[in-house]
Chain A
Amino acid sequence: MIPAPFDYVRAGSAEEAVALLVEHGDEAKLLAGGHSLLPLMKLRLAIPSVLIDVGRVHELSFIEEQGDEVAIGALTRHHDLETSSLLKEQVPMLPYIAHQVGDPQVRHRGTLGGSLAHGDPASDLPAAILALGGTLVAQGPGGRREIAAVDFFKGFLETALAPDEMLVEIRVPKAPGAGWSFQKFNRRAQDWAIVGVAAVVNGTTGIALVNMGSTPLRATAVEAAVGGGASVVEAALLAAEGADPPSDINASSEYRRHLATVLVRRALEEATS
């Protein structure tokens, strides 16, 4: 319950954080809301020797319009997503999903950037950004670069971020009239999803799956089927195609596949109704 000893430094800006990452190399970890990192440290499953606290880089906590997109600072807390009137108007699925994350305490500490950078396939917000077709902005020693959400998640808890890069901004397309649905299946209100489905229907269809493999996933077979004119029921049967869901104490792989088909069908029905 008590983490191994570590050094603590606080970064005042993204530049400073990146410089500290360069300085400390592999030993260091960024600390945002701490709600994924600290539990691992308390169980001594993560033992970073330096923590670079970016929790007070206030310039990276914002939600603002940028042309056709809404830009969100990486340090924006889940609670701020939940209550943003701009998002409720332009990307209503995001506040809705943020509201399903953990409990109020988690939502007041956890950040969107932390959730994405952690890359947990069981998390809700990565699926949201995937389904929305978002863009992630990383800042490294050489400046900023953009990464499409579909290219961001590389493996279990592994992302496209380089060790000396920090995620600074997330952009999602405005879509005030889009159909959308989020289906989170769990046993208790504060739990992670056993399976979750985020669907956005806006000319094209974007569907992302929670906890159906080692990374947050797009349900590409379903998307293609819908694009090709298949009915919702038919398309939903393809929900688990290409997925490799885990078996754990909450569900077998087989049951997850079944849930995915049910939840994708419900999501499509709701998003297109």
Chain B
Amino acid sequence: MTMGAGAFSGKPVRRVEDPALLRGEGTYVDNLKIEGMLTLHFVRSPIAHATIRSIDASAARAMPGVVGVYSATDLAFPPAPALMTLRPGAVRPALAEDRVNFVGDPVVVVVAESRALAMDAAEMVEIDYEPLGAVVDMEDALSPDSPVQYESIGSNVMIGLRSGSDDPLAGADVVVRGRFENQRVAVVPMEGSAIAVDPTGADYDLTVHLACQMPHMIRGVLSGLLELEPDRVRVIAPHVGGSFGGKHLSAEGVVAAKLALELGRPVKWVETRSENMVALPHGRGQVQYVELGLKHDGTMVGLRCRMVGDAGAYAGFGGILVLGQTKIMAQGVYHIPEIAFDVGIVVTNTTPMGAYRGAGRPEAAAFLERIVDMAADELDMDPVELRRKNFIQPEEFPLTTVMGAEYDSGDYEVALDEALRISDYKGLRDEQAQRRARGDRMLLGIGLACYVEVTGGGEEFAEVEVHDDGMITVKAGTSAHGQGHATAFAQIAADQFGVPIEQIRYVQSDTARVARGGGTGGSRSVQLGGTAVLQTSKLVVERAKELVADILEAAPEDIVVTGDGSVGVAGVPSKAITWAQVARTASERGAPLQVQHDTERAGSTFPFGAHVAVVEVDSETGRVVPVQHFAVDDCGVIVNPLLVDGQVHGGLASGIAQALWEQFLYDADGNPITSTLAEYAMPSAAELPSFTTAHTETPSPVNDLGAKGIGESATVGSTPAVQNAVVDALSHLGVRHIDMPCTPERVWRAISDARIGTLPDPWREPRTEMAAFPKEGASEEELERGAESVNL
């Protein structure tokens, strides 16, 4: 086989990661054994909001195998890190100090010889709580009467801000209005949070094995919190069993690191599933008041959004996403000349909010695609035609949107046409009409979503070295936790060196072995890390060519990478030397064939697509079955279609799950009532339809690969497509909206309400507090916040 340019890139190369995983050779944190390692277990608050009157840990301390029991008063722990600060003063202590703010808040930590001993001892810790009233509902938290979480701030509103157009609906012939709940969901990675911290190594004060996405960033944060030199701390992200935006340095992780230093012994904390459901930050959680103004012919005139964002307890950073990604993507794929966007971000006595697959962009696509469908119903237009009429056109890119986003490239109509073609949209509509005419029990719903989202942005590091044996080590500062970078990056490098994939050794996720890096989040890795690998490989190849020109006494411009693992004179097979020889010569001459390189800062990329979801609704029971899903996702130039489809399939499962099944719920007192997988309705393969995926490829001009992110896109597109399909199935009955998740009971109620004429208005005015928020233009600070929140 001839290798070289294009031999691997773009091809469905099988994942090189899988054999080890399939053989059970994963390096997950809990598999790690370190001599003398202790285990932590946390005593967590069973009450959503309370002051801590007293803690009695004496019985626990006396238990066999217990090394120590600590509360915030026993040891000075540093605060839990916030990825982004919503408001100065809204800090989270690593262990609760005088009060607890959500069920699951860690209060006491037990250190013991084994996990079972730690759990037994934890049962013996007596904590006396004095309950305070809890605020659970994010809209209630807007009220000045809600029980305040931060006395020093005096309000549960962390950010209240009005921005944009003063009168976005002026000139509209028709205004459609909806109040949409984008419900709170749990991240549910297969592996929970996990950390092992070893203070006994010779080379580092602390070696941290952490299930996470961004080891270098976490090294910086952790060394700062513990007042250690960053180069005395090593952070390793071993195999990570999924993260989806969820796994960073947690409060528990800070406690583990502090205790390892304090005790001088390795310690480990591995979350149980029960803990994971309440301790790992949740995602989404917005209430969206949306009004869209249009002309009679369907031309969009303006959009007014008034949004409430739930930050959960301790001002979880996910609360800011409504002001970041949701706001910046509010315009979506359409020309909307005027947009007003008001936001209230509140703390509640619930699990803190964080990032979850899509992090603010699914919420934007969800409200926009919902309101567009409502408009199509109102104007009696086909939802396809209404969308088509308002699309931003291909020749307009690059384009700065009303919201200030710098869209790089796009062709929304091509993606839509492809989705309509592969789904046989016309045929589906015919079938729907026939079923309605026959009065079939099983109603057909066809849902459409056209989306654009934002990924990447920033810079990345790579290092490439050719060794004396011809092996090539590729390192990147991104940190895969399931995505398949070892495969994709090897493809990119192998093409530059004209070698088989097996000749590439990939190294990542270890601060001791990779000099620096931005980690993985916001679907940034191929576009930034892949570009870094590409550029660095090219720099190495350039150096090799010079060297070979010198050895072979030829002109450097005549030297090429051959297709069989050598470098030589173009068209003269006898005049070529292998990569091993090149590397040896380089070493002999005192400059090993190795290059470290950082890419220049690149702008964000804007993947887009069109999804068509098909559902059947049982009109007697309200049960919804997703029967088909057609996804056209454009992520620019594709490095590996197999990996892309893997990301799309996973994204579809997450997105469809939000539309139909998942919601994290609390009772009125703040007790979680979906904290096991029996109650939290995460679907399995049995519930999901077969996926039909397709791609248009519109290159991004902002990076050398022309690539855009794909890790989250399918989540962005699928949720509104499915929700729209459910509403579409019932639209002939007069139903205009059903909130997510579209559970059988909700759908049944909509059907029965429609039959007896008691359908509720999908609109009501938001709470009056929103109107009193200060008005701001798009300030620098906001835009920065928006940009910062890209990389989660």
For residue B665, CB closer than 8 A to chain A, the reply is: yes
Q: How far is the CA of A190 from the CA of B674 in the complex (A)?
A: 16
A174-189 CB contacts (< 8 Å) to partner B: 185, 187-189
For residue A259, CB closer than 8 A to chain B, the reply is: yes
The answer to whether A252 and B745 have CB atoms under 8 Å apart is yes
The answer to whether B119 and A2 have CB atoms under 8 Å apart is yes
The answer to whether B272 and A1 have CB atoms under 8 Å apart is yes
Chain A proximity of B181: nearest CB distance (Å): 16
The answer to whether A259 and B621 have CB atoms under 8 Å apart is yes
For residue A162, CB closer than 8 A to chain B, the reply is: no
Q: How far is the CA of A2 from the CA of B748 in the complex (A)?
A: 40
Q: How far is the CA of A252 from the CA of B119 in the complex (A)?
A: 36
Q: How far is the CA of A43 from the CA of B661 in the complex (A)?
A: 24
Chain A proximity of B24: nearest CB distance (Å): 18
Instruction: Give chain B residues whose Cβ lies under 8 Å from the Cβ of A157.
Output: none
The answer to whether B686 and A190 have CB atoms under 8 Å apart is yes
Residue from B115, B674, B681 in contact with A187 in the complex, judged by beta carbons closer than 8 Å? B681
Chain A proximity of B241: nearest CB distance (Å): 17
The answer to whether B621 and A189 have CB atoms under 8 Å apart is no
For residue A224, CB closer than 8 A to chain B, the reply is: no
Residue from A5, A187, A249, A255 in contact with B748 in the complex, judged by beta carbons closer than 8 Å? A255
Instruction: Give chain B residues whose Cβ lies under 8 Å from the Cβ of A189.
Output: 684, 686-687
A257-273 CB contacts (< 8 Å) to partner B: 258-259, 262
Instruction: Give chain A residues whose Cβ lies under 8 Å from the Cβ of B274.
Output: 1, 43
For residue B173, CB closer than 8 A to chain A, the reply is: no
Interface of A is mostly: loop
For residue B570, CB closer than 8 A to chain A, the reply is: no
Instruction: Give chain A residues whose Cβ lies under 8 Å from the Cβ of B621.
Output: 185, 259, 262
Q: How far is the CA of A4 from the CA of B115 in the complex (A)?
A: 13
For residue A230, CB closer than 8 A to chain B, the reply is: no
Instruction: Give chain B residues whose Cβ lies under 8 Å from the Cβ of A187.
Output: 661, 681, 687, 743-744
The answer to whether A188 and B745 have CB atoms under 8 Å apart is no
Instruction: Give chain B residues whose Cβ lies under 8 Å from the Cβ of A2.
Output: 115-116, 119-120
For residue A251, CB closer than 8 A to chain B, the reply is: yes
The answer to whether A249 and B665 have CB atoms under 8 Å apart is yes
Q: How far is the CA of A192 from the CA of B273 in the complex (A)?
A: 20
The answer to whether A249 and B684 have CB atoms under 8 Å apart is no
User: Assuming A185-B621, A189-B686, A255-B748, is B273 touching A249 (CB within 8 A)?
Assistant: no
For residue B620, CB closer than 8 A to chain A, the reply is: yes
Q: How far is the CA of A249 from the CA of B743 in the complex (A)?
A: 10
Q: How far is the CA of A85 from the CA of B683 in the complex (A)?
A: 32
Q: How far is the CA of A4 from the CA of B123 in the complex (A)?
A: 9
Chain B proximity of A64: nearest CB distance (Å): 33
Chain A proximity of B627: nearest CB distance (Å): 15
Chain A proximity of B365: nearest CB distance (Å): 25
Chain B proximity of A11: nearest CB distance (Å): 26
Q: How far is the CA of A262 from the CA of B619 in the complex (A)?
A: 11
Chain A proximity of B440: nearest CB distance (Å): 15
Give the total of B residues in contact with A, Cβ under 8 Å.
Answer: 27
For residue B126, CB closer than 8 A to chain A, the reply is: no
Instruction: Give chain A residues whose Cβ lies under 8 Å from the Cβ of B687.
Output: 187-189
User: Assuming A185-B621, A188-B681, A259-B621, is B745 touching A1 (CB within 8 A)?
Assistant: no
Instruction: Give chain A residues whose Cβ lies under 8 Å from the Cβ of B272.
Output: 1
Chain A proximity of B748: nearest CB distance (Å): 6
Instruction: Give chain B residues whose Cβ lies under 8 Å from the Cβ of A251.
Output: 744-745
Q: How far is the CA of A190 from the CA of B687 in the complex (A)?
A: 10
Q: How far is the CA of A2 from the CA of B120 in the complex (A)?
A: 9
B190-213 CB contacts (< 8 Å) to partner A: none
Pick from A2, A5, A44, A194 the residue with the most CB of B within 10 Å: A2
In this complex, what residue of B is CB-closest to A194? B744
For residue B623, CB closer than 8 A to chain A, the reply is: yes
Residue from A5, A255, A262 in contact with B745 in the complex, judged by beta carbons closer than 8 Å? A255
Pick from B123, B620, B683 the residue with the most CB of A within 10 Å: B620
A1-38 CB contacts (< 8 Å) to partner B: 1-2, 4-5
Q: How far is the CA of A194 from the CA of B679 in the complex (A)?
A: 12
Q: How far is the CA of A185 from the CA of B748 in the complex (A)?
A: 14
The answer to whether B683 and A262 have CB atoms under 8 Å apart is no
Chain A proximity of B112: nearest CB distance (Å): 12
In this complex, what residue of B is CB-closest to A266? B620
Interface string of B117-131 (1 = CB under 8 A from A): 001100100000000
Residue from A44, A190, A192, A249 in contact with B673 in the complex, judged by beta carbons closer than 8 Å? A249
Chain A proximity of B657: nearest CB distance (Å): 10
Q: How far is the CA of A259 from the CA of B747 in the complex (A)?
A: 13
Interface string of B261-302 (1 = CB under 8 A from A): 000000000001110000000000000000000000000000
Instruction: Give chain A residues whose Cβ lies under 8 Å from the Cβ of B679.
Output: 249
Instruction: Give chain B residues whose Cβ lies under 8 Å from the Cβ of A252.
Output: 745
Instruction: Give chain A residues whose Cβ lies under 8 Å from the Cβ of B116.
Output: 2
User: Assuming A1-B274, A185-B621, A188-B687, is B745 touching A249 (CB within 8 A)?
Assistant: no
In this complex, what residue of B is CB-closest to A263? B621
Chain A proximity of B661: nearest CB distance (Å): 7
Interface string of B744-763 (1 = CB under 8 A from A): 11001100000000000000
8 sample A-B contacts, Cβ–Cβ < 8 Å, listed by A number: A2-B120, A188-B686, A189-B687, A191-B681, A192-B678, A249-B674, A250-B743, A255-B745
4 smallest beta-carbon distances between A and B, as pairs? A189-B686, A1-B272, A255-B745, A262-B620
- What residues make up the interface of A, taking CB atoms closer than 8 Å to B? 1-2, 4-5, 43-44, 185, 187-192, 194, 249-252, 255, 258-259, 262
Beyond A187-B681, A188-B687, A255-B744, 4 additional contacts (C-beta under 8 Å) are A2-B119, A185-B623, A252-B745, A258-B748
